Amino acid sequence: MPQPHHVVIVAFPGIELLDATGPAEVFSVASRVATADRPGYLVRIATPDGGPVTTSSGLRLMADLAFDDVAGPIDTLLVSGAIELVDGGVEPVIDHQVTTWLRRAAPRARRTGSICAGAHLLAAAGLLDGRPATTHWLTAGRLAAEHPDVRVDPDPIFIRDGRMWTCAGVTSGMDMALAMVAEDHGQDLALATARMMVMYVKRSGGQSQFSVPLSVRSSVRGSERNSSDDRIDELRRWIGEHLTEDLSLEALAARTHLSTRHFTRLFHRRTSTTPAAYVEAARLEAARRLLEDTDRSLPEVAAASGLGSVETLHRVFRRRLGTTPAEYRRRF
């Protein structure tokens, strides 16, 4: 009888429960629906000391073994993520016991992956340098800023780069685990597993369709803030209330009584994006809300959001969200 794939899921205090249990359940179901000639999966939870950990939901997760007890080769090594709310923002939790152990354990794993903010732990361990990676959209900017050697893409549900895998928020760990099942055993077993779990075997679009683009915090803090920042913030509020007006670079610069060059520099300093990209994101966000909350036709949505035409509406949805307006409305 073939030996099962050895999966080790790293857990520590404060992790999202589904980061660990979601992939574990995918591997468990795959093992149950696989035929006898295919090796299943043996999933074990490892914590720094082998004791239980309390997750973000307050539920305790029991461990199978301590880090020091993980011996021999590992087929799949996955690290869960944890986030904290600090001063109205989101902070990924970096557990240094975990990062230290990951540096030692990852080289003996056939593949290594992270779920949600677990990517921050892989990056802190130096395992993502020079690689493309993703994480939850809320912390992707933080990952890119703190680890410039990591090529962060905030949109994909998951990314595979050789033996290294990273995925987006929480339930995307299950999508990634399904892709691992497909890699190990073929698409037929992945599809059977997805059917059993009432999941899509592959989700359409990226995680941008689940995010709120305009919730990104301004890039200037506290004592660094000045009157120019206040002027840009006031303009951003005005943009949100006047999406159907002329929001060209020249019109916005004129409204702030600045040259286009100086305005563009100040806007980027405050928001880490360009005026044109911000305006498009604001109009896209308005279109999303209209699709979610009203039954307006697509031409009406395009006009009311400032995107103008159905053609532009489709183009922006495809480029930024990886889906169509009609599919977005159906899903949300």
Single-letter code of the amino acid located at 37: D
- φ/ψ of 326, rounded to 5, equals -65, -40
Within 10 angstroms of residue 265's Cβ, the number of other Cβ atoms is 13
Residue 323 corresponds to which tokens in the numbers above?
Answer: 């889906």
Alpha-helical (H) ranges within the chain are 17-33, 96-105, 118-124, 140-146, 172-185, 187-197, 227-241, 249-255, 260-271, 275-293, 298-305, 310-321, 325-331
| Positions marked active-site | 116
Encode 171-196: b = buried (16+ Cβ within 10 Å), e = exposed.
Answer: bbbbbbbbbbbbebbeeebbbbbbee
Residue 22's closest CA among 153, 136, 114? 114
Greatest alpha-carbon pair distance for the chain in Å reads 76
Residue 266's closest CA among 223, 226, 214, 216? 226
Residue 141 corresponds to which tokens in the numbers above?
Answer: 């900017």
Strand partners, 9: 45, 78
Q: How far apart are CA 32 and CA 9, in angstroms?
A: 19
Cα dist from 131 to 76, 140, 183, 298, 303, whole Å: 18, 14, 20, 39, 41
